Structure formats: structure tokens, C-alpha cells
Amino acid sequence: MSTEVKLERIPMPDKMPLIGNVLSVDKDAPLQGLMDLSRDLGPIFRMDMMGTPMVMVSGHELVAELCDESRFDKAVRGALRRVRSIGGNALFTGDSHDPEWGKAHRILLPTFSRQAMINYMPMMLDVADQLMLKWERLNSDDEIDVVHDMTGVALDTIGICGFNYRFNSFYREGFHPFIDALSHTLETCMLQRGLPFESQMLKRRLDRMKDDVNFMNTLVDDIVAERRMGGGEKAVNDLLNFMLEGVDKKTGESLSDENIRFQINTFLIAGHETTSGLMSFTLHYLMNYPDVLAKARDEVDRVLGRDIAVQPTLKQVNQLTYVQQVLFEALRLWPTAPAFSLSPYEDEVIGGKYKIKAGTFVTILVTMLHRDKTAWGENAEEFDPENFSKEAMAARPASAYKPFGNGQRACIGRQFAIQEATLIIGMILQRFELIDHTNYELKIKESLSIKPDGFKMKVKLRDDIVRSTMV
């Protein structure tokens, strides 16, 4: 006796003739528009993008099925595919079945091992100290552009740790030209939606994007050339060294020069974009939740001490467990990689009732997955670091929290990012009082990642800090 599965139609918003749902989402805030649709339509809905179906999913039980890598693979399409103009077939934008992706993944995985994290610590401290010194020298009425400074510290950190290259972000007024070029390129990638006459309407942006890509490629080529010219010196055991010298044990091959360029661009993008947003959101929430701030500061004082002349150790950073809970909770409400996409190898049925055809573009809307009340409770929209206590984490399904993607395509640098963010937030709390002088209300700036928009604050050196004379 066979049991026939009763399929249900996937909910869908109203659409227009020919263009379908292309205009259903605000082009300036597509993520927030999709979040609103998810609130209205539920944990799964579909859209018609000029005849091409797209399915959006945010329910953790459905996501658990989608994260089965034997059934679904990462889909590199839409804006992410357009980022190939700078990332090519590197780790973030390459296809899983591309031999170059597998080769690079195997070569570069050791650069994020436990030993690698130990090796990166002095360089992370070097850059963090520059940020602390800048803030210590501010006048009492000077305000801080939070995203600017978090972007600078994150870019400088991946620059020095990954490639022994100094962007020197704290020795210039605005952003480094690489950031300006990158921001414009990502914005242009996001603006393209495949509409008629789009290339003509965006011609000026697209022309500038070509110049920006050339600038970024030239900078990266210079980094590689400088390393090769210094080939007789003692090798720096960083990402770039693994790219230049690493050999894949499976194939016996090394990375091509073109792929090395793509990988460097990718690490410079991913290594600062998401981490800077994470730290910015975290500072916002700390200022808005005094009890959380007090608890985090108490932990910092207990673990790091009050003598700011004594540099934190990696062991101490790993002991800042409540600070990490705050970071993870900020990353829950506003995951800086707010979505990732998959497609089924074959026709699939998920949730026992929703049919998805092979090759369909399925996007996991991480911002709404992290607000799924069936996993996070009725207060899922509220900021609460206790969501990441050991007890809460043990009781929650793993599929409910996916800020770093999934499986073999999960962010390779996630441990690096958390170590960096914990160190920097810890050092800030050790030294400074945070002042919300504008009563800032959170506004989201969307690109390929997300950050607070227009977030300014002031700081004041704590009265109870100690600065010993180190010999």
C-alpha cells in the first residue's frame, strides 16, 4: 500500500505581467523588503523574476533539509555571480564542482588552523593597538564614525595577517582607495537585476566599475610582485605564502597566478566587510543594553585586567566567553552575510509538501532564519546574549543558526573573524566608556553585506584604567 505525498503550492506575493516580482522588493533595501515578505508569507515563499523562479526559505526545519549537501549545492548566481568580476572562481564565488575551487580549499585550509590563529595574534594586536591609540588621542567632543573605523581595523588586520601588507587606514582621513573601489563595485553588482535597458541606464556606473576592478587588480598584483621580489628573504607563513608555495596533495598542482589574484581579492573583501559590520552592530547593541555592557565589561576587567599596557594573550581572548555571546547575538539579529543560496541536484520535496525542481535558485534568508520563533522563542526579535549560553545552544537545533553559511562552503575564516572581533571589542571595553551622543536609531545599509548606516558615537577613557610602565 503506497502513501501519496500531498504537495502544496509555495506561497507567492502578487506579481506583474512579464516582469513578475522584480519590482516587489525595494532596489535600495532588497534584504529588508524580503524580510517583510517573509513576515507576511511565512517560512517559505517563491518569486517570479522575469520567468525565473526563486524560492526564499527561513524556517529552521526546512533549512535543515536544504543544508543536506548530498541533495543541495551552493548556487553562485545573481549579485554573487556578478562579484566574479573581482573574485573569479575563488573560494567565495567559485562553484563547488570547479576543480580550482577544491584545489584552493585544500591548500588554504591550514591557514586557519589553531596554530595559524596563534601566529596571527601578534599582528592582530599590532592593528588593534593602532585603533586604541587613535581613540585615546581624540578630544572629548570628537565623534567616531564607527563603520569607518571598524572597516579600517578589519581591512588592516586581514592585510597584515594575510599578505604582510599595510593599508595604514589610521594614517588617512577617508577610506583607503581599495575600499572606495570595492564599495562602488559591490553596489553596482547589487543594482543589476536583469531589467530591459539596464546596461544603458547603469552605463556610467558600469564604466566606473571597470576602472575600479582594474585598480583593485593592480593593487593585488603589486602585493604579489613585492612578495616574489623578496623571495630570498625568510618566507612569511601567511595566506599569500600558502597561495604561492602551496601544493595540493590530491592533484599535485599549485594555484595559477590568475587564481591567486582572485583569492586575494576575495580574502580582502570577505576578511573585512563582514567583520567590520559585526563589530559595528555589536557596539550599537552594547550602548543600547546597559546591563549587557556592564556584564561584558566586568568579564573584560576580570580576564584582561585594568592595566592597558599589558597586551592580551590568545588564551585570555578565548576566555572572553560573554563578549563572544554578545558578538554571536549581534550576528544573529544582523548576520553580515545575510543570505546564501542553494540549488537541488534533482527534483526535491522539502517539508514533506513543497516541491522544488532541480536547479531552482533557493535562498536561505538568514536574517529571518535567526528570527524563527519556533527555534528562538517569542522574543526572537529582541537582543539577548543569553541565547548563546551553553544551555541554550545545546537545546537549539543547529539549523537555526547559519551566519557563516553551511558545510564545505561555510566561511573558511570564521574562527579568524571571531578571534579578531573578540580581541578588538575586549580592548575597547577595557579602555573606554561608550557614549551614544546622537541617540542613534539603527538603520541598515545594504550591499553584498550589511552594516549600520550613519552610526556615530563618542568615547571617553575610563577613569579606573591603569597604564603601568613596561620594561
Helices (H), 67-112: 78-82, 84-87, 99-108
Please report, as a single letter, which amino acid is at residue 94. Answer: G
State how far the Cα of 143 lies from the Cα of 200, in Å rounded to an integer: 41
State how far the Cα of 275 lies from the Cα of 304, in Å rounded to an integer: 22
Rounded to 5 degrees, what angle do the CA atoms 342, 347, 352 make? 90
Cell numbers for 243, please give them: 597561495
Helix, strand or coil for residue 342? strand
Is 313 annotated as catalytic? no
Catalytic residue selected from 45, 361, 388, 404: 404
Catalytic residue selected from 411, 416, 432, 455: 411
Is 432 annotated as catalytic? no
Is 383 annotated as catalytic? no
Place of cell 597566478: 257
Burial pattern 334-346, b for ≥16 Cβ within 10 A else e, equals bbbbbbbbbbbee
| Structural contact between residues 333 and 370, judged by C-beta atoms closer than 8 angstroms | yes
What contacts 195, CB < 8 A, 6 or more positions away? 19, 22, 50
DSSP 8-state assignment for residue 407 = G
Query: Residue 431 CB: number of other CB atoms within 10 A?
Result: 20
- Rounded to a whole number of angstroms, the distance between the first and last alpha carbons of the chain is 83
- What values do phi and psi take at 9, rounded to 5? -70, 140
Catalytic residue selected from 111, 151, 266, 274: 274
Residue closest to 38 by CA, chosen among 267, 303, 284, 373: 373
| Structural contact between residues 151 and 179, judged by C-beta atoms closer than 8 angstroms | yes
Beta-bridge mates of residue 455 = none
Please give the positions annotated as active site.
Answer: 274, 404, 411
